A = this chain, B = another copy of it.
């Protein structure tokens, strides 16, 4: 039977290096969590399924806690399955964005009362962008060569990061436009035309 998308996420992480279920769960918060996340309650059963399909194996390493600490690594078969999946075109995923859904109904509320909700979103994008930029600086100084070699894990991580950077910047610019539109439509007295601080 074929792995789920989460299974491929785990295979992708294990292809870089062996990890415990706990370490995999952490990676599924960040950096992989930026585009695919899961909680530990999903990870452990999925690891068991991958092992049953002989795509990963584990060995017991010593560690704390009441249970064994299991370190997983990908098998040759798992590595092949992963590479095959990675080059298969992704079928279009259903888009779901609760923020945009709120925007779609924003006309039902007073524009002044709608502003904070957009501003909150904007500041979250600003924070995320700062996070990405710091990771980028780290990456560039750390492995200058690796990030330009498509056969290296660092290249793939850098590629996803670049997409994140670009996405956050465009999202911030959109928020600025939206804030102007909401504020600019006011009767009169207050028209604080913002010139997009933080977007450059």
Contact = CB atoms under 8 A, between A and B. Distances in A.
A155 interface: yes
Nearest to A38: B94
Contact of A153 (B107, B124, B156): B107
A101 B9 contact: yes
Contacts of A53: none
Contacts of A86: 102-103, 105-106, 108-109, 114, 117
Given A86-B102, A106-B86, A96 B151 contact: no
Interface in A93-123: 93-109, 111, 113-114, 116-117, 120-121
Nearest to A111: B150
Contact of A87 (B5, B117, B162): B117
Contacts of A33: 94-95
Given A8-B105, A97-B93, A124-B92, A155 B170 contact: no
Interface string A1-37: 0000100110110010000000000000000111111
B111 A151 contact: yes
A59 interface: no
21 contacts: A5-B101, A8-B101, A11-B105, A12-B108, A32-B104, A35-B100, A35-B104, A36-B95, A36-B96, A36-B101, A37-B95, A82-B105, A82-B108, A83-B109, A86-B106, A87-B117, A90-B121, A92-B124, A106-B150, A107-B155, A150-B185
